Amino acid sequence: MINHQNFKKNLSVMILCGGKGKRLLPQTKKTPKPLIKINKKEILFHIIEHIRSYKLENIILATGYKDSSFKSFQNKYSNKFKTKTVYSGINADILSRILKCENYLKENVLICYGDTIVDLNIDRLISFFKKNPNKITLCSYNLTSQFGLMKINNKGNIVSFKEKPKLDYYFNIRFFLLKKKNFKYLKTFKSFQSFLENKKSTKHLKSFKHVGKHITVNTIQELHEAEKNLRKI
């Protein structure tokens, strides 16, 4: 497996950690969502450990809500890894948080969210990106039906059953790889989503299909499910 050593030396990882996590109340009343614990370790810890397993050390935390909690997190793990926090305000949107980090970024930028744990193969992602370095790479995941499905013909006869099959759709797992030079274009848009829509329309947006585990924590139910699913990664 190619380790992309030179590419990684010029890669910054930005983890978006500023949201209020309202759907996770009351857990997020005192603790920001990325610092909620799953299996006795913070969500953010799990994310950083996976990133560091690919020899990536330039990690920036784009913070907002309860920024001081992240300083405590840094101190707690200061002997294990180093991160930099960049505060962008409590009510900042995603685009504002991203742009606030611009001065601390290297040539290549991996953006991810502080509430999503995946066993993403970052080496394969980089290999994919290198084939189209002037385009934005968005990581996607095959959607699985929550229900068993039936195929029915036009006479109302049941043709087949499928138990929670993979669907012909993918969703954005919110990992993005791009060149820092794109930031000059980012500044001309009102939102990060509108920037992505523009890149899609001009065919400058590619999708890397992630195959593996995907754990996101937005609700109390998802938090309970994450406890079980994380043990399988």
Residue 203 lies in a domain: yes
In a domain, 149, yes or no: no
**pTM given for the model:** 0.89
Instruction: Give pLDDT, residue 3.
Output: 67
Question: What pLDDT is recorded for position 135?
Answer: 93
pLDDT band at 155 (very low <50, low <70, confident <90, very high): confident
Domain ranges, residue 118: 5-137+172-230
Does a structural domain hold residue 115? yes
Mean pLDDT over 29-49 rounds to 94
111 inside domain: yes
Split into its structural domains, the chain has a count of 1
Question: Distance (Å, rounded) from C-alpha 224 to C-alpha 178?
Answer: 33
pLDDT, tens digit (0-9, with 9 covering 90-100), for 45-81: 999 999 999 999 999 999 999 999 999 999 999 999 9
Q: Is residue 163 situated within a structural domain?
A: no
132 occurs within a structural domain: yes
Query: In the block, which residue shows the tokens 């497996």?
Result: 1
What CATH number does the domain containing 69 carry? Answer: 3.90.550.10
Q: Is residue 165 part of a domain?
A: no
User: Is 92 within the bounds of a domain?
Assistant: yes
CA distances from 103 to 86, 100, 109 (A): 10, 8, 12
Mean pLDDT (the chain) is 90
* Complete DSSP assignment for the chain: ----HHHHHTEEEEEE-----GGGTTTTTTS-GGGSEETTEEHHHHHHHHHHTTT---EEEEE-TTHHHHHHHHHHTTTT---EEEE--TT--HHHHHHHTGGG--SEEEEEETTEEE---HHHHHHHHHTSTTSEEEEEEEEE-SS-EEEE-TTS-EEEEESSPEEEEEEEEEEEEEEGGGHHHHTTSSSHHHHHHHHHHTT-EEEEEE-S-EEE--SHHHHHHHHHHHTT-
